[in-house]
Structure 1
Amino acid sequence: MRTESSNQKSLRYRLLSCVAIGVMIGNTVAPIATASAQEGRSEEGRHEEGRTATPIKHVIIILGENRSFDHIFATYKPVHKGESISNLLSKGIVNADGTPGPNYDEALQSRGFDTTRYQLTPSKTAYSVLPPALVGGPSTPALCAALGVTSGTSCDTPANEAVAKTVENGLPDDYYKYLLTGGTGQTSKTPDKRISYAGRDATHLPPGPYQLTSKTYPYDAYAASPVHRFYQMWQQLDCDASAATEHNSSGCRSDLFPWVETSVGAGSNGAAPPAGFNESSTGEGSTSMGFFNVQQGDAPYLKELADTYSMSDNYHQAVNGGTGANHVMFGAGDAIWFSDGAGNPAVPPHNPVNPTAPGTPLPGYASALSEIENPNPRPGTNNYYTEDGYGGGSGSPTAVAPNANHGGGSYVNCSDATQPGVPAVLNYLHSLSHKIAAGCETGHYYLLNNYNPGYFGDGSNAYTDANANNTVFTIPPSNLRTIGDSLNERQISWAYYGDDWNRYLNDKYEKNAEDIYCNICNWAQYSTSIMTNAAARTEHLKDTTDLYASIAAGKLPAVSYVKPSGLLDGHPGSSKLNLYEGFVKKIVDGVKANPKLWAETAILVTFDEGGGYWDSGYVQPLDFFGDGTRTPMIVVSPYSRGGHISHTYADHVSTLKFIEANWGLKPITRRSRDNFPNPRTESDPYVPVNSPAIGDMMDLFNFDHDHDHDHDHDHDRDHH
């Protein structure tokens, strides 16, 4: 057996080979005035910060990864007798034990047919059984492999837990074991032998949602990850204005989830489909249809929070796309676009790609980078997009043929109706009874998915950096205005706390495998006004170690954004939901341990996106970019007790509206989504009649009620 010190020494090198950790996931801004330390702000600044519309003086927004509302809360029952919820159980789609319910047919999925140009509503036929549910995630947990344990599904020992604590500091002590458990014990992209639902195995599942967990599939298990890209998500929703009803005014039927997973998956990067392409080739199968069962012990801590505090069952991801685009929306309330690095719109690299040899530029072209989306199906295929992906090749600026970087389709000029994919979305938006503006500025190429931010943590330009360890799949520096600019102008304190930030500062190319900081998640890292100001970087960009110290000292900034590392963010495939639960619990417990801080703090617990998991909730189109599926949003505060379920329509930009309402700030820009009004409803509390509209989250609180700060489980009190 290795000693602890030798385990630590070898850990960083072995992590490099672990697939689970390797899963990767026009408004000009004036320069920020030199930032000062929180204690050193002016008397005027302290007065502005303390002047709030509610008793909340500190808001903490914790952002997990890739879980839809029904994926976690499919069978949740509100603890308060006067509350209702919209989920699979309440709709009769499943029973409390997770089995198919009397209305299971309402969730049936279909196989689409799209062979000519991208369509939101292709012709379709119903599945009789789902495509196979496939294995994803590590066979042996990543930390186990890093410690030299290369087989088995667990390596949980006291010695190994001690080593795990040297890698990650974001968990309560009794959660570290989960870093060492839950391996699949199977080969990836094969039918998952753990899955059994309604008496059927992974290759014969009924054509709707299925419960993941069972006697053979524990909650503490790694799982596959569905596709979560822009055009794929739009297509999965199957939105048709002619199908609109009183309770579904968008006409989105959400019945093409497995088909999009199996027909294109995460994209082609310009390459042709592999030989023998079938429903297992993308490695996803019907992953999107899996759900947990909180009635049987799944997601116990999130359920406890929902029971005790307030939760929304009508909160949504803001962009039909992945992590990067949605985190930018958290900070800016808008989509980011490709520029010349000086604030002027520009055209991204757009070269043809040889589908049979994508790593070799075609004659006459110096590059095979093709960063503009083209979701039209490749000739001879059913929905295999021509150009879409996170980028092929190593990404290194020094890569050359036959292994040159290629593809990377992630931008769109949605102001141009001749661009591939754009007409389908625009035609849908314009055909709605409430015609929806696309929100696309002329000549702007908007980022729809994940690209690295334009700056490294030290403020240097990441887009122009030609180091061999960098990646070309990086967006130029941006002058898009953010909530950071708004707060700085009013001298209201804020911070973005990124787990592993300190490691990243000394390892900007993230070569150290222990450095699992998420750069694409930090909306401030895209921003020129923040990143080119050394004082601003020092003041506002911090590690979660600083968060824990600030909580202990009772000196939190007014606004805090908190992001776990790739180990703890709950992202399927590379993390687990119980690890995110532990990350949240450490923060909540820390705040509650400081009575003064707890009395004036709201902790918002959510996820960046649904991750491609199916959801049964209403989706409101707001503009070209979204909204997308529901994600959980739980508000933890002395003022949000009682198990209240909010039905008010909200999305990520609602967090900005709450900050602005509480601290008296104006919308970030003239076009950001925080300009949208609060929803008005009539017969259906979920569907705004003044669309586009999103709430400010105030209804998740009860500021008029007397609050007993010593009792957190008073579920029977009247919330209203």
Structure 2
Amino acid sequence: MPHTTRHFNRKQAVGVVGTATLATSLVAAALLCLGVAPGSAGEGHHDTATPIKHVVVIFQENVSFDHYFATYPQAANTPGEIQQGSGMAAPSFTAAKNTPKGINTLVNAGLLAPKNPNSIQPARLSPRQAVTCDQDHGYTSEQKAYDAGAMDKFVQFTSRDSCGANQYGRPGLTMDYYDGNTVTGIWNYAQNYAMSDNHFSTTLGPSTPGALNLVSGQTHGATEYTSAGVPVATPAAGSYTVRQPDANGVGTVINDPDPVHDDCSNSSHATSNNLAGMNGKNIGDLLNARNVSWGWFQGGFTPTTPAAAGNPASCLSSHTNVAGATVTDYSPHHEPFQYYASTANPHHLPPATQAEIGHNGQANHQYDLTSFNQVVNTDNMPAVSFLKAGMYQDGHAAYSDPLDEQNFITATVNKIQKSKNWKDTAVVVAYDDSDGWYDHVAAAVKNSSSTADDAAWCQNAAASGVPMAGGYTDRCGPGPRQPLLVISPYAKKNFVDHTESDQTSILRFIEDNWHTGQIGDASADAAAGSLNAMFNFHHGRKDTLILNERTGTIASRVHSRQ
């Protein structure tokens, strides 16, 4: 089938996105808990529950908490180490004396070598080993690695030990971790702002479920399409995309299909994947209903070949990572709003004017990262911004790495801190999945499932009576533990939050702050743990922390009157 016909079929087959019930009855109570009086509904985006007027979510790829924080705040500081790619001397790291004790790290749990129950012991990765093999992070594989809660089968079920040129591998690679000599910027943000040691993916599995949970708390409601855009009424056993479909072909996403409402699906990689489209609502729909400005900004979103004369756009811009590999910037399955007809920008059209950024228009709130850079220091910076790095900087093992990622995060946060909007902004750094990297903590299952895709971890929970929200299968979670940081004038300094949270806690913070109501339809946002303990909403800090964008070390501290 010609590519042009495929695109036509995508648009015609999905139709109108269904509605979802908005739950708003608890908003007033939530505001009182924050110590902030609720405003009137008519005040739009100015009516926020907290002093935060701008939320920026930097949503990165494929990191478990132990992979980045196993020995925090102690780094090896090994003499003579250099960074991969640049050949620069690796930075040293010395923790502040008042760094909190009792952080749930691998070292504090007593699970470094030789005491780890897995068949191969954890080992430190040096700054010269930044680019590594990608691990197995499938929905079922991660459950098997949990071994019914013993957390001792990661080597057997998620470790991938050998891979391409200039990518480090070893037997049992999944067990390995970085420290503050490599992830220096992340550790410095943790030292100066707030982090969590009890934050999890909402469900088990890879990138697309994580992205969908961030914006809707819902991986059910998916329709599968062939790579040519034809609906698949009954996905086959082992389907790449949608599992357990009902009589209407609607099921749950557990893998990484490309979005059906995206010209660039299947054009940015060698394989031709099945596609998926989502029904229901997402946070973009809720923000639109409240007239709150927002946008998703992703590296490589600007097409290299625009759509024209019935031919779809293609998105093939690229950059080189620290290992010298050329990496395509745009990944369609990392862009959750493209799965929904209501919030998609299928042809990757740019905003007609700068004033359109964050508002309704031909781009439909979906933009290239360059659009965020245009408005970050203006009155037109959206109230809610989701930022996705180009693939070489998104932190995903194999094609990205912590050094390229550090460059993106520090450059972005520096830009925000130097802007006029910093005074009322909260930057949230979060991840879409764990990549299968080992982490020693498993949260108790709160949403069960018991299908052929589920192993003992989730099946046991279902058998013991843990409910299955909405009756929707294959949404077992929480999944693996991941890093979470809040960088803001209202973030507590050098603070570690132990409150259990998940990806939908970010969604819930946005919902509550702008009084949007909730997604409904058994979305995980309804039960999400709060991020509020990471903030002090009664006192805005007067300092900024500018980091070196190559090394992650502290470049300057600025104290100002606000």
Given the alignment of the two structures, is residue 579 of structure 1 paired with residue 384 of structure 2, yes or no?
A: no
Residues 46/563 of structure 1: CA separation in 2 closer, same or farther (3 Å cut): farther
In the TM superposition, what is the alpha-carbon distance from 1:618 to its structure 2 partner?
Answer: 3.2
| 3-state SS of paired residue (2:414) | helix
Q: Retained in 1: the 8 A contact 2:234–2:249?
A: no
- Partners of 2:221 and 2:101 in 1: CA distance: 42
Q: Do structure 1's residue 412 and structure 2's residue 243 form an aligned pair?
A: yes
Which of 309, 314, 322 is residue 206 of structure 2 equivalent to?
Answer: 322
Shift of 1:265: 11
- Rounded Cα–Cα distance in structure 2 between residues aligned with 1:556 and 1:226: 37
Deviations 1:114-148 (A, max 9, x none): xxxxxxxxxxxxx3xxxxxxxxxxxxxxxxxxxxx
Name the structure 2 match of 1:353: none
In structure 2, the partner of 1:657 is 508
- Cα offset for 1:710? 5.6
Superposed CA offset, 1:24-66 (max 9, x none): xx98139xxxxxxxxxxxxx99931011011100000001111
Q: Which amino acid in structure 2 is aligned with residue 411 of structure 1? A: V
Q: Does 1:668 align with 2:487?
A: no
8 Å Cα contact 2:103/2:197 also seen in 1:
yes
Partner of 1:704: 538
Aligned to 1:508: 313
What's 2:485 paired with? 634
Q: Aligned-residue CA RMSD in angstroms? A: 3.4
Are the counterparts in 2 of residues 661 and 696 from structure 1 also a CA contact under 8 Å?
A: no
Q: 1:83–1:58: structure 2 CA closer, same or farther, 3 Å change rule?
A: farther
Distance 1:258 1:340, change over 3 A: closer
What is the CA–CA distance in structure 1 between the aligned matches of 2:159 and 2:256, rounded to whole Å?
A: 21
- Which residue in 1 is equivalent to 2:135? 226
CA spacing shift, 1:338–1:292, aligned 2, 3 Å: same
CA distance in 1, matches of 2:303, 2:380: 24
Amino acid aligned to 1:231: T
CA contact (8 A) 2:224 2:241 kept: no
Match of 1:85 among 103, 116, 138: 103
SS of the residue aligned with 2:479?
Answer: coil
Q: CA deviation at 1:707?
A: 2.5
- Asked if structure 2 preserves the Cα contact closer than 8 Å seen for 1:262 and 1:284, the reply is no
2:305 & 2:202 partners in 1: Cα distance? 29
Whole-angstrom distance in 2 between the partners of 1:340 and 1:292: 38
Q: Which residue of 2 is the match for residue 452 of structure 1?
A: 258
* Among candidates 511, 518, 521, match of residue 334 of structure 2: 521
Corresponding position: 1:287 with 2:87: no
In structure 2, give the amino acid aligned to 1:208. Answer: Q
- Candidates 46, 50, 59, aligned match of 2:46: 50
Gaps of 5+ in 2: 1-15, 21-39, 74-94, 164-168, 226-230, 307-311, 320-327, 350-359, 450-474, 547-553, 558-562
Secondary structure at 1:291 match in 2: coil
Q: Quick one: structure 1 residues 340 and 325, their matched pair in 2 at CA, closer, same or farther if it must change by over 3 Å?
A: closer
What does 1:672-691 align with in structure 2 at a 5 Å threshold?
672-676=523-527
5+ residue gaps, structure 1? 1-25, 31-43, 95-99, 110-126, 128-206, 240-251, 267-282, 351-371, 374-407, 416-440, 677-693, 716-720
DSSP 3-state at the match of 1:583: helix
Query: For 2:59, what is the secondary structure of its paired residue?
Result: strand
**Equivalent residue pairs, number:** 432
Among 542, 545, 551, which residue is 2:367 paired with? 542
Of 175, 187, 191, the residue aligned with 1:307 is 191
2:416 paired with 1:591: yes
CA 1:56–1:208 in 2, change beyond 3 Å: closer, same or farther?
same
> What is the deviation of 1:325?
1.5
Q: Is the 8 A contact 2:260 2:275 kept in 1?
A: yes
Summarize the Cα distance change of 1:335–1:505 in structure 2 as closer, same or farther, 3 Å threshold.
farther
Partner of 1:604: 428
- The aligned counterpart of 1:208 is 121
Distance 1:340 1:223 in 2: 32
Residue 397 of structure 2 aligns to a residue whose secondary structure is coil
Highest CA radius of gyration, 1 or 2? 1
Q: Is the 8 A contact 1:65 1:608 kept in 2?
A: yes
CA distance in 2, matches of 1:554, 1:83: 41
Of stretches 470-479 and 301-310 in structure 1, the one that deviates more from structure 2 is 470-479
Mapping of 1:6-405 within 5 angstroms? 28-29=18-19, 47-77=43-73, 79=96, 80=98, 82-94=100-112, 100=113, 104-105=114-115, 107-109=116-118, 127=119, 207-213=120-126, 218-219=127-128, 221-239=130-148, 252-261=149-158, 285-294=171-180, 297-339=181-223, 347-350=233-236, 372-373=237-238
Q: Report the CA distance shift for 1:285/1:481 in structure 2 as closer, same or farther (over 3 A).
A: farther
Q: Which residue of 1 aligns with 2:439?
A: 615
Normalising by structure 2, we get a TM-score of: 0.70
Q: Distance in 2 between matches of 1:505 and 1:83?
A: 53
The letter for the 2-side match of 1:704 is: H
Q: Distance in 1 between matches of 2:318 and 2:409?
A: 23
Change over 3 Å in CA distance of 1:219–1:619 after alignment to 2? farther
Secondary structure in structure 2 of the residue aligned to 1:87: coil
Task: Select the residue among 539, 560, 567 that pairs with 2:392.
Answer: 567
Distance 1:45 1:590 in 2: 32
TM-score w.r.t. structure 1 length? 0.55
| More deviation, 476-485/580-589 | 476-485
